[in-house]
Amino acid sequence: MVGIAIAELVQQVRGEFIGAEPMDGPLVLAESVLTELVLTGAVPLSQARTGCITLVDDVKNADKLIGTHASAVVTPKAIPGLPIPQIVVANPHEAFAAICKRFNPAVVFERRHGSHPSAVVHASAKVDRETFIDAGVSVDADCTVGPGCHLHHGVTLMPGCKLGRDCQLFPGVVLYPGTILGDRVTLHANTVIGAHGFGYKLVNGQHIPTSQLGWVEIEDDVEVGANTAIDRGTYGVTRIGTGTKIDNLVQIAHNCTIGKHNLICAHVGIAGSSSTGDYVVLAGQVGVKDHVQIGDRVQVGAQAGIASNVASDQTMLGSPALPHFEQAQVFATLGKLPEMRKAIRRIEKQLAKADKFE
């Protein structure tokens, strides 16, 4: 790994450099360290090793640096007596992210045009000349792909799909027939958009699929994580609103309407015909019942279960979910249940004795 002088990093993040300061001695040759110390990586404190720079985002956590093997640290304020050099910055997370990118630069996909020889593009498909179709991609009949898109290895577009400009579809993504993507949509690996919804009716003792004749429409600037599934509508559209970000392993069922700029975390399941407003946050493993409407700016805590409509600007916790103040009272009461049970038993015994004397 190529090393980077700490002086370069100080300059890059416009930080203040403070040399090592042993507990029993003066500042250690700050200028010498600034010019001579070379770092080989940037890692969290728990993974720190010699040659690496790490991060402490609050001086209250300075004691965690005791015994560290790190060779330097990014901090929001100078920490007295620290035995390793510091880079002091106003926003340590922003600075540390910039430093991490120096050591592990993000992969920038080359903007290429045309199709890989192994790609299969139907004669009726319209693929913009500024788009790149990678190895093993299948683009079926009547598809339209706008400029600047990149369909990575093994992507499948079934008939009638439409993509706007600058979309990124990572390996293994599958778009079922009629799926519509807006501009700058990112779909991570193995995501499936437009599969048939989970709808059946019982006929003569057998589960018979109901109609699944709709489609999925994903608006501009949406990002969908790996292995997520969004089902097509029964007759109409399942819609994901502009700017919404969806994590890995999320299930959004048929006929749902997801508002703009939502944040939907991993393992969320949204049952059919439900809707969310704008700027809704669903934390990990939230479950939403079918035919439920969630208002704007609602925040739902992890593992909560939404069983009925939620008005705008609420924070919901627990399962079944309640407004956070009510749920806090429930949680507080739960901790007292063993004591309350003992008290009830004592009262029952006292009442039983009283009955004997009547």
Q: What is the pLDDT of residues 210-228, one digit of tens each?
A: 989 999 999 999 999 999 9
Q: Is 336 inside a domain boundary?
A: no
Question: What residues act catalytically?
Answer: 254
Is 37 within 8 Å of 5 (Cβ atoms)? Answer: yes
Same-domain status, 238 and 157: yes
Same-domain status, 99 and 118: no
The runs of H, that is alpha helices, within the chain are 6-13, 30-36, 92-103, 324-334, 337-356
Q: Which amino acid is at 291?
A: H
Q: Is 262 inside a domain boundary?
A: yes
Same-domain status, 136 and 227: yes
Q: Among 76, 103, 130, which residue terminates a domain?
A: 103
Same-domain status, 132 and 57: no
Number of domains in the chain: 2
Same-domain status, 81 and 188: no
CATH of residue 167: 2.160.10.10
pLDDT in tens, 231-257: 999 999 999 999 999 999 999 999 999
Beta strands 120-121; 138-139: pairing state: parallel
Same-domain status, 92 and 128: no
What integer best gives the mean pLDDT of the chain? 91
Q: Is 345 inside a domain boundary?
A: no
In this prediction, residues 112-126 reach a mean pLDDT of: 92
Same-domain status, 292 and 166: yes
**Preceding omega of 320 cis (within 30 degrees of 0):** yes
Q: Among 103, 138, 170, which residue terminates a domain?
A: 103
| Cα torsion angle, 29, 35, 37, 41, sign | positive
Same-domain status, 135 and 56: no
Q: What is the pLDDT of residue 131?
A: 96
The SS3 call for residue 26 is coil
- Residue 289: domain span: 114-328
Residue 329 has pLDDT above 90, yes or no: no
CATH of residue 56: 3.40.1390.10
pTM over 0.85: no
What is the pLDDT confidence band of residue 174, given thresholds at 50, 70 and 90? very high
